[in-house]
């Protein structure tokens, strides 16, 4: 029952949840909708970004392991290649956001500094863009599993292996 390509689905849902929620919290913190909770929102989003980025790289690695097995079973390998490419995009984007956000925690220049505001806005835009890429990457992963049965065991016609 234990197959190498089954490790990828075990990890793939962690970065999805962590990075999407981290992006939502960052948007709430940056737009100052909840001024009293701003520091808590920033801390939580930064923690989720770092953890989600680590899990995204683990997911990229396990996806590479699954690629060698699944790539031979599917009908349209271009979807697999796009899924892999967007996996790298997501991992890179959120790693950059993590570095920016951790850096903002240690560097506190004047809030009126235009360069500081530019990097804060860039971090927010990268998080939003990364979330869009993450959604498309998840869509491609769903197409691989549900349309092409990637990594899914296909039973024989008479289902003898279940007796």
In a domain, 141, yes or no: yes
How much is the average pLDDT of 105-114? 73
Provide the whole-model pTM.
Answer: 0.86
In a domain, 162, yes or no: no
31 phi, psi to nearest 5 deg: -85, -5
Residue of 51, 48, 53, 56 lying closest to 28 (CA atoms): 48
Residue of 20, 17, 34 lying closest to 127 (CA atoms): 20
Higher-confidence position of 70 and 48: 48
CB atoms within 10 A of CB 160: 8
The label of the residue with tokens 């016609």 reads: 157
Whether residue 1 is predicted with pLDDT greater than 60 in this model: the reply is no
What separation, in Å, do the N-terminal and C-terminal C-alpha atoms of the chain show? Answer: 15
In a domain, 70, yes or no: yes
CB-based contact 9:75 (threshold 8 Å): no
Taking the CA atoms of the chain, what radius of gyration do you get in angstroms? Answer: 19
Whether residue 19 is predicted with pLDDT greater than 60 in this model: the reply is yes
Share above pLDDT 90 across residues of the chain, in percent, rounded to a whole number? 51
Rounded to whole angstroms, the Cα distance separating 113 from 116 reads 5
In a domain, 25, yes or no: yes
Domain count, the chain: 1
Q: Which domain covers residue 122, as residue numbers?
A: 4-152
In a domain, 158, yes or no: no
106 membership: H or E segment, kind and range:
helix 77-106
């Amino acid at each position: 029952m234990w197959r190498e390509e089954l490790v990828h689905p075990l990890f793939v849902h962690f970065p999805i949840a962590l990075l999407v929620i981290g992006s939502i919290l960052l948007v709430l913190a940056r737009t100052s909708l909840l001024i009293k909770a701003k520091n808590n929102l920033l801390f939580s989003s930064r923690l989720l970004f770092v953890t989600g980025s680590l899990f995204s790289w683990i997911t990229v690695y396990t996806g590479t392991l699954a690629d060698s097995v699944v790539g031979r079973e599917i009908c349209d390998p271009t979807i697999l290649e796009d899924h892999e490419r967007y996996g790298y995009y997501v991992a890179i984007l959120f790693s950059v956001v993590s570095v920016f956000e951790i850096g903002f925690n240690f560097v506190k220049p004047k809030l009126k500094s235009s360069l500081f505001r530019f990097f804060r806005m860039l971090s927010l835009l990268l998080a939003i863009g990364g979330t869009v890429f993450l959604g498309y990457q998840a869509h491609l992963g769903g197409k691989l599993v549900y349309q092409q049965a990637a990594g899914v065991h296909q039973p024989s016609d008479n289902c003898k292996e279940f007796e």
